[in-house]
């Protein structure tokens, strides 16, 4: 009798040890993602450096400004675009209205001349990516620069961005995002610190090989490389730059091409939900992007999907003993496991705990409205 029970006891003990190991790896890996990873990048930089062959060029450029109900800022955005230090006959400014219900189209059309400034007024509000996809074929530039309406560019930002395209290996470039007046809103200082941290990572990644993703406020791609993302894509500024890897090009970061935004433009709970939903959606890109990274011989450490990795690990902390939100084909997401991210919230206070709760809500929403998004 004892001999029969002993193997079961050992098996149960082994499972317990394995579950504990998985738990602690999942808890500690986020600390690696935000603290260890930068150190690894700096170490790799000591032995790996791929400089971009930059020099001044003046290709014909399309500055594409997607807009939805941006009447408050669109006039100032057009003024800012006209003030760019770039030959007027080599730059077209295109405002693409995604079914705006306010005065965005009327204000923009008052500035349009049909040549240097054009307005694409789409009647239906379909979302940012469908608007970009419909606009690209109508653009004349060989380089397309994307810039959100509230974001303002420094005069030399376009020139600095374009210098990177002198290197034939470069397919996409992202500029440096800065926050103005961060003390005016309660999350401004923390967002400012976060973007400084992200900037550091992107500079290191870019100088190693390629950066993974860009800033929606200012990024550019060779027009013939535009990937036409699926309509449901949320994080277009991740999908578009990363897509060039599959075609054998680099996506790099240009810290001297500066775009800025006032801190009050970043507020809103809906914005946080949208960002988190986009991060979850990026999980579906992990496998394909990793394969592209290996083909490009990018350092394995570079392909870590910083925030996405953290989300996946938090999501798996208690997957052995909690209920599942079921997706198609038996795949699923642990419903309560993400709430265990409040372990991290102990260190981040109420705001981080609120974000974790929001993330759980996003998982529920995606499961009910887009079951495929729950499959990893």
Distance from C-alpha of 321 to C-alpha of 324, rounded to nearest angstrom: 9
In the chain, domain spans: 18-46+269-376, 61-267
Q: Is 37 helix (H, G, I), strand (E, B) or coil?
A: helix
Return the pLDDT at 291: 55
Distance from C-alpha of 45 to C-alpha of 49, rounded to nearest angstrom: 6
Has residue 116 got a pLDDT over 50? yes
Could you read off the pLDDT of 202-245 as tens digits, one per residue?
777 877 878 877 877 899 999 999 999 988 887 888 889 888 98
Query: Whole-angstrom distance between the N-terminal and C-terminal Cα of the chain?
Result: 44
Distance from C-alpha of 100 to C-alpha of 128, rounded to nearest angstrom: 12
Q: What average pLDDT does the structure give for the chain? A: 74
**Judging by beta carbons within 10 Å of its beta carbon (0-12, 13-18, 19+), is residue 112 exposed, middle or buried?**
middle
Q: Backbone dihedral region of 51: left (phi > 0), alpha (psi from -120 to 50 degrees) or beta? A: beta
User: Please, are residues 212 and 307 in contact by the beta-carbon 8 Å criterion?
Assistant: no
Question: Between 136 and 370, where is the model more confident?
Answer: 136
Return the pLDDT at 289: 56
Task: From 95, 98, 99, select the one nearest 73 (Cα to Cα).
Answer: 95
Distance from C-alpha of 352 to C-alpha of 360, rounded to nearest angstrom: 13
Q: Alpha helices, DSSP H only, in the chain?
A: 2-31, 37-45, 74-82, 104-111, 128-135, 157-163, 188-208, 236-243, 269-282, 286-295, 306-316, 342-369
Return the pLDDT at 47: 80
Token pair recorded at residue 227 = 């990937």
pTM of the entire structure?
0.69
Could you read off the pLDDT of 259-285 as tens digits, one per residue?
988 755 554 445 555 555 555 555 555
Distance from C-alpha of 332 to C-alpha of 150, rounded to nearest angstrom: 38
Could you read off the pLDDT of 281-334 as tens digits, one per residue?
555 555 555 555 555 545 444 444 444 454 444 444 444 334 333 333 333 333
Q: Alpha helices, DSSP H only, in 83-135?
A: 104-111, 128-135
User: Please, are residues 72 and 152 in contact by the beta-carbon 8 Å criterion?
Assistant: no
Token pair recorded at residue 157 = 């930002």
Strand partners, 97: 67, 121
Select the highest-mean-pLDDT range: 34-43, 143-152, 256-265, 317-326: 143-152
CATH architecture, domain 61-267? Alpha-Beta Complex (3.90)
Distance from C-alpha of 346 to C-alpha of 361, rounded to nearest angstrom: 20
The pLDDT-based confidence of 369 (bands split at 50, 70, 90) is: very low
**Judging by beta carbons within 10 Å of its beta carbon (0-12, 13-18, 19+), is residue 357 exposed, middle or buried?**
middle
């Amino acid at each position: 009798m004892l001999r029969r029970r002993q193997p079961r006891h050992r098996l149960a003990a082994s499972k317990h040890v394995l579950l504990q190991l998985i738990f602690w790896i999942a808890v500690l890996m986020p600390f690696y993602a935000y603290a260890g990873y930068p150190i690894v990048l700096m170490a790799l930089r000591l032995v790996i450096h791929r400089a971009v062959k930059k020099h001044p060029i003046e290709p014909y450029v399309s500055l594409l400004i997607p807009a939805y109900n941006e009447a408050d800022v669109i006039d100032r955005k057009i003024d800012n675009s006209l003030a760019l230090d770039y030959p007027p006959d080599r730059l077209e400014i295109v405002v693409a209205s995604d079914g705006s219900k306010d005065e965005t189209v009327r204000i923009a059309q008052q500035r349009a001349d049909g040549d240097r400034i054009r307005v694409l007024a789409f009647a239906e509000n379909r979302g940012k990516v469908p608007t970009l996809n419909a606009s690209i074929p109508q653009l004349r530039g060989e380089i397309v620069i994307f810039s959100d309406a509230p974001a303002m560019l420094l005069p030399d930002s376009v020139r600095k961005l374009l210098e990177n395209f002198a290197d034939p290996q470069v397919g996409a470039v992202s500029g440096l995002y800065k926050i103005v007046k961060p003390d005016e809103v309660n999350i401004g200082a923390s967002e400012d610190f976060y973007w400084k941290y992200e900037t550091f990572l992107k500079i290191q990644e870019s100088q190693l090989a390629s950066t993974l993703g860009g800033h929606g406020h200012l990024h550019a791609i060779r027009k013939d490389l535009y990937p036409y993302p699926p309509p449901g894509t949320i994080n277009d500024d991740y999908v578009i730059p990363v897509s060039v890897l599959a075609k054998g090009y680099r996506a790099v970061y240009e810290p001297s091409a500066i775009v800025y935004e006032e801190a009050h433009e970043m507020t809103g709970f809906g914005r946080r939900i949208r960002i988190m939903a986009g991060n979850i959606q990026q999980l579906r890109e992990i496998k394909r992007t990793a394969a592209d990274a290996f083909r490009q011989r990018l350092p394995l450490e570079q392909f870590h999907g910083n925030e996405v990795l953290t989300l996946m690990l938090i999501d798996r902390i208690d997957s052995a003993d909690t209920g599942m939100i079921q997706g198609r084909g038996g795949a699923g997401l642990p419903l309560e496991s993400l709430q265990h991210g409040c372990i991290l919230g102990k260190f981040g206070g109420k705001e981080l705990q609120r974000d974790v709760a929001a993330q759980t809500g996003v998982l529920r929403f995606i499961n009910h409205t887009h079951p495929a998004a729950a499959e990893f």
